[in-house]
């Protein structure tokens, strides 16, 4: 079963694995998506990571995505795909990119996937997860509001919202607004001194996000 009707990968380029990571290029109509795939022991669980409107692969808080992808692969047998966009900032195009990433993971038999996005990428994650019932859950970090209009469709899959109270780009209100519209199960964490990039709460962020990811991926799959 495909993740979304009409979405297909024309071809996939993969490099040899180096230090547990494989460079991946997903070719779709309109260009190639640059990714990094973190290998893990066989299983169905994976995390797909996406950054903000500027694109990139490292994530906020000084490379959060890299650190947690390595930890999940080594300690929890959870694979990861870090995905860069073909057209950063274009919501519809980025949604298509993430759907392509999900197809790639499905081809690797990783069918229980949590989406994690930061800022603009958080809205992309919510938009994709709300419309695809095979997504296991969504973590939205420092989210914007635009693109989250269908968040209620994510339920009964879990939603985690994380925001910094000192966010200078997207105010804390954005996550409260999404939280109020979302259905259960949902969780909102606000770090008092953290700004948009979440650098001031790195340890707490890694602890809370890692714990939530493990909790979601260890649950029985919803039918």
Report the distance separating Cα 115 and Cα 122, nearest Å.
9
Report the distance separating Cα 52 and Cα 83, nearest Å.
11
Q: Is the pLDDT of residue 116 over 70?
A: yes
- The pLDDT tens digits of the residues spanning 51-71 come to 999 999 999 999 999 999 999
Interhelix angle for 60-76 vs 202-218, to 10°?
40
- The pLDDT tens digits of the residues spanning 38-53 come to 999 999 999 999 999 9
Cα dist from 180 to 145, 174, 177, 188, 196, whole Å: 12, 10, 5, 10, 21
Alpha carbon 58 to its chain centroid, in Å, reads 12
- The pLDDT tens digits of the residues spanning 156-205 come to 999 999 999 999 999 999 999 999 999 999 999 999 999 999 999 999 99
Residue closest to 207 by CA, chosen among 44, 81, 67: 67
DSSP codes of every residue in 130-155: HH-TTEEEEEEES--STT-TTGGGGT
**CB-count exposure of residue 146 (10 Å: 0-12, 13-18, 19+):** exposed
pTM above 0.85, yes or no: yes
């Amino acid at each position: 079963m495909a993740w979304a009707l009409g979405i297909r990968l024309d071809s996939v380029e993969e490099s040899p694995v180096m230090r547990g990571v494989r460079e991946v290029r997903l070719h779709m109509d309109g260009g190639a998506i640059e990714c990094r795939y973190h290998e893990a022991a066989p299983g169905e669980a994976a995390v797909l990571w996406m950054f903000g409107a500027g694109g990139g692969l490292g994530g906020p808080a000084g490379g959060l995505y890299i650190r947690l992808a390595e930890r999940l692969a080594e300690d929890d047998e959870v694979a990861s795909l870090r995905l860069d966009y073909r057209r950063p900032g274009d919501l519809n195009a980025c949604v298509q990119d993430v759907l392509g990433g999900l197809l790639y993971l499905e081809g690797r038999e990783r069918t229980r996937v949590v989406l994690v996005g930061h800022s603009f990428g958080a809205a992309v994650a919510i938009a994709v997860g709300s419309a695809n019932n095979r997504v296991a859950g969504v973590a939205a970090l420092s989210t914007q509001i635009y693109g989250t209009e269908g968040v209620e469709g994510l339920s009964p899959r879990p939603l985690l919202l994380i925001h910094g109270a000192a966010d200078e780009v997207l105010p804390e209100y954005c996550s409260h607004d999404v939280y109020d519209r979302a259905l259960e199960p949902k969780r909102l964490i606000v770090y008092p001194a953290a700004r948009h990039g979440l650098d001031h709460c790195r340890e707490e962020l890694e602890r809370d996000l890692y714990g939530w990811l493990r909790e979601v991926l260890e649950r029985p799959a919803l039918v």
